[in-house]
Amino acid sequence: MTDNAALSSDAVVLADRIGELVACMRSAEAELGALLVEIEQRGVMELFGYRSAARLLEHLADVPKQAGERMVKRARALHPGRNLDGSPIPALAPATGAAALAGRVSNPMIDVITGVLTQVPPEHHAGVEQNLLSFAADAGHKQVAALGARILAHLNPDGAEPATTEPATPTRELFLRRKRTGIWELNGTFDDETGTRASAVLDALAERRTSDEGPDHRTLPQRYGDAFSDTIDLALNSPDLPTQAGERAHVMVAVSLADLKTGVGTATLGDTGEMSAAEARVHACDSMLIPAVLGEKSEPLNLGRLRRLISAGLRRALYLRDRGCAFPGCHRPPRHCQGHHIRHWADGGPTDLTNLVLMCAHHHRLLHRSGWQVRIAADGLPEFLPPAFLDKRRKPRRNNLHQPLPFAA
């Protein structure tokens, strides 16, 4: 055998092995995606205490949240799901899902096929998907994308309807309405300058978040909803906010002492709203939601303000010590954070530095519901113990993203 023949033989063996490993990787990722969709349907919150499958994957596998969200979104297109009311959602590309489980298609190929199918009328889905998959057997995702573009052009030869050339100038209006379900609806129109400024603020606060909303997974609008909530918190914490009847703006929450201690039951929010006692317990740590704690005969026992709220000086000390959200891996700065009582104030926990930790709203809620625990270590800094399903040893973790306070020489 010549040297060239030996090299050629080795190349074939190595290439075949690469193909086998790639197919295994693709099949494993497709199976993981199917499992995440199943977890979503069964309830991420109920099973693990996490808001979304992407957040769960971030902690279980050290997968960046954006990559996890892409994986979950891709899997939803390949596998059937369910709406919030329990009605079934058919898979957008079931044949592509089967090919993915067999390791025959790459993620870029899946994205190309599902991207084309989202623009195809439902009655043509099966035929178009089969054509794209057949072509994909011998072509790369770029060639399949070109075929998809030709198919779309054939189905819609006139193209999209052109936009109007003279848009009306919007007025600056805002409508905020509370529905009977307790959900608030917000809509309005703004001039270009106001919209640009609002977009810049929301983009900054919606970066890699997530957000709070939806059936255990956040879309981009839901991330914007979280960012809007953070914007309200920042406004309420501003010293320049105008007062109402001599006081800074706040909302009163009425809850019984027994419900506040156990987190079971409901609380009255403002004049007509309602929230769970567990949520009231989260806000009772440090917020402009002022809890009015009631006794057995609904008599006010405590208005929370003097014993519970963190003073300006203590808040500055928290800022200096924690430098931002103390939860491991969180980059949120101090101005986006709340003070969390390690031992809840309703259980007799003091409002002092040894019983407080700085946390962003997302991780504050996660701590209250998911099995994470926090404590102050011997060196005076906070550390977090993960739930057993993340780490059976429950080894303490710390946030090392924030710059420590520089010390004088």
| 271, 346: one domain | no
Apex CA 228: angle with CA 225 and CA 230, to 5°?
115
Residue 288 falls within a domain, yes or no?
yes
End-to-end CA distance of the chain: 72
At residue 344, the 3 state secondary structure works out as coil
Whether 113 and 132 have beta carbons less than 8 Å apart is answered as yes
Whether 382 and 376 have beta carbons less than 8 Å apart is answered as yes
| 138, 51: one domain | yes
Q: What is the dihedral of CA 120, 126, 127, 133, to 10 degrees?
A: 100
Q: Which domain holds residue 211?
A: 167-242
d(CA 77, CA 56): 20
| 12, 49: one domain | yes
d(CA 196, CA 19): 48
Closest CA to 340 of 370, 320, 361: 361
In the chain, how many domains are there?
4
Whether 254 and 267 have beta carbons less than 8 Å apart is answered as yes
Distances, alpha carbon 374 to alpha carbons 47, 168, 330, in Å: 21, 53, 15
pLDDT at site 26: 96
Apex CA 56: angle with CA 399 and CA 261, to 5°?
75
Q: In sequence order, what E strands does 226-288 have?
A: 243-244, 247-248, 251-256, 266-269, 273-276
| 139, 15: one domain | yes
- Measured from the Cβ of residue 219, the count of other Cβ atoms closer than 10 Å reads 14
Among 217, 242, 267, the domain boundary falls at 242
Tokens 């991780």 — which residue? Answer: 363
Residues 6 or more apart whose Cβ sits within 8 Å of residue 201? 227, 231
d(CA 386, CA 370): 9
| 236, 263: one domain | no
Residue 388 falls within a domain, yes or no?
no
| 50, 76: one domain | yes
Buried b (16+ CB within 10 A) or exposed e, 93-111: bbbbbebbbebbbbbebbb
pLDDT by residue for the chain (409 residues), tens digit each?
Answer: 555 666 678 888 898 999 999 999 999 999 999 999 999 989 898 999 998 999 999 999 999 889 999 999 999 999 998 876 778 889 999 999 999 999 999 999 999 999 999 999 999 999 999 999 999 988 899 999 999 999 998 887 766 665 555 555 556 888 888 777 778 888 888 887 788 888 888 888 877 644 333 343 567 788 888 888 888 777 766 666 665 444 444 445 555 555 555 555 666 554 445 656 556 555 555 444 445 544 554 444 444 444 456 777 788 888 888 989 999 888 888 888 888 889 887 677 888 888 999 998 888 888 878 889 999 999 989 999 999 888 889 999 999 888 765 543 3
CB-facing half-sphere around the CA of 43: CA atoms within 13 A:
6
Torsion sign over Cα 365, 370, 371, 377: negative
Which tokens is 170 given? Answer: 């919007």
Which tokens is 87 given? Answer: 């009605």
SS3 for 153-165, per residue?
A: HHHCCCCCCCCCC
| 117, 5: one domain | yes
| 55, 189: one domain | no
Among 242, 264, 290, the domain boundary falls at 242
Q: In sequence order, what E strands does 283-363 have?
A: 289-294, 300-302, 337-341, 356-360
Residue 45 falls within a domain, yes or no?
yes
d(CA 407, CA 52): 40
One-letter amino acid identity for 279? Answer: E
| 35, 132: one domain | yes
| 33, 107: one domain | yes
Which tokens is 113 given? Answer: 């096929």
Instruction: Report which DSSP code applies to 401.
Output: -
Tokens 């003091």 — which residue? Answer: 350
Among 92, 122, 153, the domain boundary falls at 153
Each as own residue / partner, the long-range contacts of residues 378-386 (CB below 8 Å, 24 or more positions apart, any chain) are: 380/321, 380/354, 381/321, 382/322, 382/326, 382/357, 384/326, 384/327, 384/328, 386/59
| 186, 278: one domain | no
pLDDT at site 306: 40
d(CA 358, CA 361): 10
Which pTM value belongs to this model? 0.58
Whether 104 and 23 have beta carbons less than 8 Å apart is answered as yes
Continuous segment of H or E residues that includes residue 39:
helix 3-42
One-letter amino acid identity for 75? Answer: A
Residue 352 falls within a domain, yes or no?
yes
Alpha helices in 137-262 (DSSP H): 141-155, 192-205, 220-236, 257-262
Residue 405 falls within a domain, yes or no?
no
Residue 395 falls within a domain, yes or no?
no
| 148, 273: one domain | no
Which tokens is 315 given? Answer: 């808040």
